[in-house]
Amino acid sequence: MVTANGYCPSPFLQESLFPEKGGFIDGRFCETIPGLGPNGTAVSCCLPCPLSDWRYADNTAKRVDVASWISVAILPLCVFLLVSYAVLPVKWTNRHYLSICFTLGICCMEIAFIIPLGTNPAQCHNAITPNDMYSNLSCAFSGAFLLFGGWLVVMWSFIRTIAFHLQVCWEFVLGPKFMWGAFLAGFGIPAVAMTVMLILTGVSFRFGEICHINIKYGAQDYWYPLISFAAAALVLQLATMAYCMHIYLRSLFDKSASTTDNSSGLPSYTSSVRTVTARQAYRRVRRVIQLQWRGAALVLIILGNVIFFAVVFIDLDRNVKPTPTNIAKASQWIMCLATGGGKEACERYASGLGPNEPTLLAVVYLLSLVGFWNFILFARPSMFVGWLDLCRRGFSAHREFVSVDAHRHPDNKGFEMLTASKTPEPYQYNMRSPSPSAMMRSPSPREAMRSPSPAHTLGGRRSPMDATSPTFDRSVHFGHQEARYTRPSMSFSGPRPPSSSANGRDWDPSATFAPGHAR
């Protein structure tokens, strides 16, 4: 009776007994051993699929699934941010396209962890062959979302770092050109990179129920470009922080007078230009940091995680790749399994084959917790206030109030639409008859001189502009509303009656340096 082991010792399976059709053939962990076949021929023996069950503990797969349930809890938080950006006014959310696109990338990564929970995919195509994106649809979607989301997060971290650096160090104002360039690079580069990765490398089940990029060309078309953008963003972020520290120290050790001593905000003559520039630069940098410290903190978290992920996965690919060096390193572990030692007994020989279990779990958990940090840093308390205000007033209450007559008559260009009504009621706003005769005009000086009292009259009623009269009534009703004259806090003038001086002058020549007679 011929079994799947063939001429191979248990638990190894003979590769020739399994057809090379379907699944990821390069994902088999096989080695040709001479002298096992008939007449001393060589036989290719393979470890059963999945390989992670032999390298790590039995409950490792269940621990990896915890990351999927973490994503289930975090994805609604990211969706809450996106819906808040779309529904609430900007005064509640302070939304920006950098934050929105960054959150979209995180949502893609969270979806990649959630897909296996609904599909429950089969990791192996047969006993020795893992499934890939061509043999399993769940693998294709989870791997594509994970790779595309990772690229989006890194690219928008890089773009956010560039924007922060330009604003702080070069006083650059972000405009439409930068925005469209950011969209082109932030979505174009990940789309092209994902297309190249899926065509040249592909994804397959390597550990857990989430597909990851394969070993062949995986470092060249995914990890190395990703590390390049992440490292460039990290260096630029550190340079920006160093510049901020430099500006802060310059203003801190400056003992001379600064522009803060001037209430007018203009540089004083007692302080040097260098001192004024340092203080002004510090205030400008402080304002920018107060607005963007959340994004800068999130970028540092993401870049640190990405570099850690890349190092771990590159080390895993290097140790699992079937090279003569790796085969020699794993010979003791393979011989222990072939002699019936069992997985637990041979575990000590597998310690040098790839990252250990705690490191691998840390990578998966940190990858799924990216959305949590995004929510903590970008979910402002004002968002909840905005949702409460929206629920109280309704979705239609966020439009600005505009008079109905203004909609009907958009060509009205009058400023003071005050007309006398036929009824003995106070003056009312009449938006429908803005004729020049209906405008309230100021009396001429001659009419004012002939007036029996300082109060200006219009149609038998005292004008509200007569604020200096002793009997001035500040409550002038327009319809059913009360209009009050409020003197501006920084105004040193006000409505005054016309002067009634005998000589027609309201100034004394003797009180000035002007001559009293004409030269």
Three-state SS string across 333-352, please? Answer: HHHHHHCCCCCCCCHHHHCC
Residues 6+ apart with CB under 8 A from 214: 24, 26, 27, 132, 201, 202, 203, 204, 206
Which CATH code for domain 57-397?
A: 1.20.1070.10
Token output for 472: 């001035």
Which amino acid type is present at position 323? T
Which amino acid type is present at position 1? M
Token output for 32: 């040709």
Alpha carbons 46 and 127: distance in angstroms, whole number: 9
> For each of the chain's 519 residues, which pLDDT tens digit applies?
456 678 888 888 988 888 888 889 988 888 888 877 777 788 888 888 888 888 887 778 788 888 899 999 999 999 999 999 999 999 999 889 999 999 999 999 999 999 999 888 999 999 899 999 999 999 999 999 999 999 999 999 999 999 999 988 888 888 999 999 999 999 999 999 999 999 999 999 988 888 999 988 888 899 999 999 999 999 999 899 888 888 877 777 765 544 444 444 444 444 444 444 677 777 878 887 777 788 888 888 988 888 898 888 888 888 877 777 777 788 888 888 888 777 777 888 877 777 888 888 888 899 889 899 999 988 889 999 999 999 988 755 444 444 344 444 444 443 333 334 344 443 343 433 444 444 444 455 454 444 444 444 433 444 444 444 444 444 444 444 445 556 655 555 555 555 544 444 555 555 555 555 554
Please list the residue range(s) of the chain that carry CATH number 1.20.1070.10: 57-397
Coil, strand, or helix at residue 92? helix
Indicate the burial class of 469 (C-beta count within 10 angstroms; 0-12, 13-18, 19 or more). middle
For helices 370-378 and 97-119, what crossing angle results, to 10°?
140
Please choose, from the candidates 366, 363, 364, 336, the residue with its C-alpha nearest in 3D space to the C-alpha of residue 351. 336
Q: Are 207 and 52 in contact (CB under 8 A)?
A: yes
Token output for 332: 């003791």
**pLDDT for the residue 285:** 80
**pLDDT for the residue 490:** 58
For residue 130, what is the DSSP state?
Answer: B
Alpha carbons 195 and 214: distance in angstroms, whole number: 14
SS3 helix, strand, coil % of the chain, rounded to 5? Answer: 55, 5, 40
37-68 b/e (C-beta count within 10 Å ≥ 16 → b): beeeeebbbbbbbbbbbbbbeeebbebbbebb
